[in-house]
Copies of this chain bind each other. A is one copy, B any other.
Amino acid sequence: MTVHETILEMGRKAVIASRALARLTNEQKSKALRAMADGIHARREGIKSANAIDMEEGKKKGLSGALLDRLLLTDSRIDAMVKGVREVADLHDPVGQILEEKARPNGLHIKKVRVPIGVIAVVYEARPNVTADAASLCIKSGNAIILRGGSESIRSNEAIADALQFGGERHGLPDSALQLVRVTDREAVRELAQLEGIVDLIIPRGGEGLIRAVADVARVPVIKHYKGVCHVFVDESADVEMAVAISENAKCQRPGVCNAMETLLVHSAVAGRFLPAAASVLQRKGVELRGDDAARAIVPSMKRATEEDWFAEYLDLILAVRVVPDVRAAIDHINMYGSHHSDSIVTASVENGEKFVEEVDSAAVYVNASTRFTDGAAFGLGAEMGISTDKLHARGPMGIDELTTYKYVIHGSGQIRE
């Protein structure tokens, strides 16, 4: 079979599975999910062996240490995967929820009802745990899922997918509810992204390169975020101690993630007090600072920032620093250079806080808190499928509700249009 035929056949099977999934009760889905978690637990040794081969090949291929770390499955990571699937089993069932209900003057009764999206494709790289995370969220929300992981983790993904299927299909999971694409060719991604009328949504998860590769060829809807260039703006009236703590947390607590701060903006009136204190804390944590002239005049040890630094997603212990004249300039900088992900203002001014949250065009806008909170768990959505910086359908963390759509159900007694 060609790649096209293989993917098309998987798509068609997924459509059939999606119809069966849409009709499962919450209890049936939870039972299947718990069996899937048990499946991973039961096949732990096989998963570790498969992962060992991926790791060995990865080392031979010269994958970076960071990539190898993402690829590695330890017992505690497998435990976390099992726990994650069980937690998804216990989430509320979004399907069937009535979002709106009304009676029209002509007697029609209209309900807007939450239903699964149908078939969701997830394209990811490195981390094999996405196989279990994404599959469990899709199934809990009544969707069939087609998974396509990276070639570097193919054996680990196969072992996990097999374990999930083994567990699930013996406990009510429809055939083909979860399928793993075993073709590691990039062509498979293109085929998936162009399966209009079959794949209802494709979600790329990984680096910007992967996400662009999907978005560039997609004919089906994509939900994505390219990158997270997040800002903290320290306003004139900021509590300096709070601003230092938030800056340190947003930059250092986990620098490699999309909601970490990449650029620090500072009101000129507070820069003289704030910047030395912040620089001292950040530099002690090993952060390389790259400032504009005004910032370097206050903290001369900073490197000089270039225009490129304002666009940069370092995902590392590097921070761009800019002094701005007011909240207006901070908002304009963020809307121009940012990635519409997560941005925060530290201020004692209610007015400036309101202005900032109104005008910064980002998925999550904070007043007096770290940008690091933008995720499903911190927002109380449970596990998340990813974070969207798109504006359509889902923005910010995507939980199971965001993996659903709705239909209108209208009951009448013979009404016709006049």
Contact = CB atoms under 8 A, between A and B. Distances in A.
Contacts of A357: 407, 409
15 contacts: A117-B391, A118-B391, A221-B392, A245-B416, A246-B416, A353-B411, A361-B407, A367-B410, A368-B411, A369-B410, A369-B411, A370-B416, A373-B417, A392-B405, A395-B405
Contacts of A216: 219
Contacts of A140: none
B367 A414 contact: no
A406 B395 contact: yes
Given A201-B392, A391-B405, A407-B395, A415 B370 contact: yes
| The 9 nearest A-B residue pairs measured at CB | A369-B412, A249-B416, A372-B417, A393-B393, A242-B414, A391-B405, A392-B393, A364-B408, A369-B415
Contacts of A365: 407-410
Given A239-B414, A369-B410, A221 B390 contact: yes
Given A22-B359, A248-B416, A370-B416, 18 more contacts: A104-B378, A200-B391, A200-B392, A245-B414, A246-B414, A249-B417, A362-B407, A363-B407, A365-B408, A365-B409, A366-B412, A368-B412, A369-B415, A372-B417, A391-B405, A395-B406, A395-B407, A396-B408
Interface of A: 19, 22-23, 102, 104, 108, 110, 117-118, 200-201, 215-216, 219, 221, 223, 239, 242, 245-246, 248-250, 253-254, 335, 353, 357-359, 361-370, 372-374, 378-380, 390-393, 395-396, 405-417
Contacts of A391: 117-118, 200-201, 221, 405
Contacts of A359: 19, 22-23
Chain A interface helix/strand/loop/mixed: mixed
Contacts of A219: 215-216
Contacts of A335: 19
Contacts of A416: 245-246, 248-250, 253, 369-370, 372
B23 A373 contact: no
Nearest to A223: B392
A206 to B, nearest CB: 19
Contacts of A390: 221
A161 to B, nearest CB: 25
Contacts of A221: 221, 390-392
Given A118-B391, A395-B406, A369 B104 contact: no
B414 A358 contact: no
Chain B CB within 10 A, most for which of A253, A366, A410: A410
A368 B409 contact: no
A407 B389 CA distance: 10
A19 B411 CA distance: 41
Given A249-B416, A392-B392, A414-B239, A23 B369 contact: no
A416 B417 CA distance: 57
